[in-house]
């Protein structure tokens, strides 16, 4: 199953990439939403090879997955892969400068089932594709608005 969302952000591409790769802040945001996130690699700087273990609830069941940063092309984007007992997936975040102070973020998601249980989950997500895409788009819009606000009034 593949789906994609896109959002324009009122900030320069370098600033957006910096915010997109502020992994400690993203970990905290996931924890505020009820996920348990733990970084398990030993890297000292952001780059390919960063790995997180995550636990969260999806569709009424607890889920566990491992997420790995596999591609890191500053300031153009990054790629992550995920593995769980039922699914494997990929996330591509692509940044394009629209102007000096405007950036387009496109996120592509791909999920593949690893077993029968995964096939049932992917099928249920396919049936709810529009709702799922809308939820992801809403979160991305909120994230984009926050980035734009941070750029307008730096700390």
How confident is the model over 58-102, as pLDDT tens digits?
878 899 999 999 999 999 999 999 999 999 999 999 999 999 999
For 69, counting Cβ atoms within 10 Å of its Cβ (0-12 exposed, 13-18 middle, 19+ buried), the class is buried
Which H, E and C letters describe 65-105, residue by residue?
Answer: EEEEEEEEECCCEEEEEEECCCEEEEEEEEEEEEECCEEEE
Cα dihedral 66, 82, 45, 27 sign: negative
Which CATH number characterizes residue 123's domain?
A: 3.30.530.20
Question: Domain of 43?
Answer: 2-152
Q: How many helices (H) and strands (E) does the chain have?
A: 4, 7
Number of structural domains in the chain: 1
153 has a pLDDT exceeding 80: no
What is the per-residue pLDDT for 59? 77
What is the per-residue pLDDT for 18? 96
Give residue 47's pLDDT band: very low, low, confident or very high (50, 70, 90). very high
What is the per-residue pLDDT for 155? 58
What is the per-residue pLDDT for 54? 97
Task: Provide the CB-side half-sphere exposure for 53 (13 A, CA).
Answer: 5
């Amino acid at each position: 199953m593949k789906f994609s969302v896109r959002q324009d952000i009122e900030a320069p591409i370098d600033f957006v990439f910096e915010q997109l790769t502020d992994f400690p802040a993203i970990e905290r945001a996931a924890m505020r939403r009820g996920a348990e996130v733990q970084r398990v690699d030993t890297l000292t700087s952001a780059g390919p090879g960063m790995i997180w273990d995550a636990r969260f609830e999806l569709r009424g069941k607890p889920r566990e997955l491992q997420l790995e940063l596999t591609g890191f092309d500053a300031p153009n984007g990054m790629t992550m892969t995920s593995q769980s007992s039922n699914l494997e997936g990929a996330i591509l975040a692509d940044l394009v400068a629209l102007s000096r102070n405007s950036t387009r973020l496109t996120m592509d998601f791909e999920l593949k089932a690893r077993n029968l249980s995964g096939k049932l989950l992917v099928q249920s997500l396919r049936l709810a594709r529009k709702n799922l895409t809308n939820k992801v788009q809403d979160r991305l819009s909120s994230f984009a608005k926050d980035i734009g606000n941070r750029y307008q009034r730096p700390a």
